[in-house]
Structure 1
Amino acid sequence: MSYSPIIQKTIEYIEKNLHEELSLESIAQFARFSKYHYHRIFQKEVGVTVSEYI
C-alpha cells in the first residue's frame, strides 16, 4: 500500500519501536504534528487508528 511520506516514515518508526511503549503523542511528536492532526491523517490514510495499528 502506498502512503504519504510522513505516514510511511512513522509506520516504519512504529514497527522499529514496537518493543517500546508507544503512544499517539510520541508518534505525533516524531512526525512533528499535533496528536489530533496526526490521528486524523493516519486514520484517513491507513483506515485504522494508531492504537488499532499498533
Structure 2
Amino acid sequence: MKLPIAIIIGCAIIALAVFLGLTYDKRTWMESCVSGNELFQKDQAAQTCELQYVKSRK
C-alpha cells in the first residue's frame, strides 16, 4: 500500500519542480523583455512581452 503513495508523492514533487521552473523561466524572460521595452508604458510592455513569450514557446 505504501508504494502507490510514494509514486503519487514523487509525481507531485516532479510536477511542482517543472511548474516552478517554467514560472521562473517566464519571470526572467518577462523581466529582460520589459527592461528592453522602456519606451513603452509598463502595462503595455508587459502585454507585448506576454504575447512574444507565448509565440516564442510555440
Where on the TM-score scale, by shorter chain, does this alignment land: which range? 0.3 to 0.5
Give TM-score scaled by structure 1 length: 0.38
Query: Which structure: greater helix fraction?
Result: 2
Greater RCO, CA 8 A, separation 6+ = 1
Give TM-score scaled by structure 2 length: 0.36
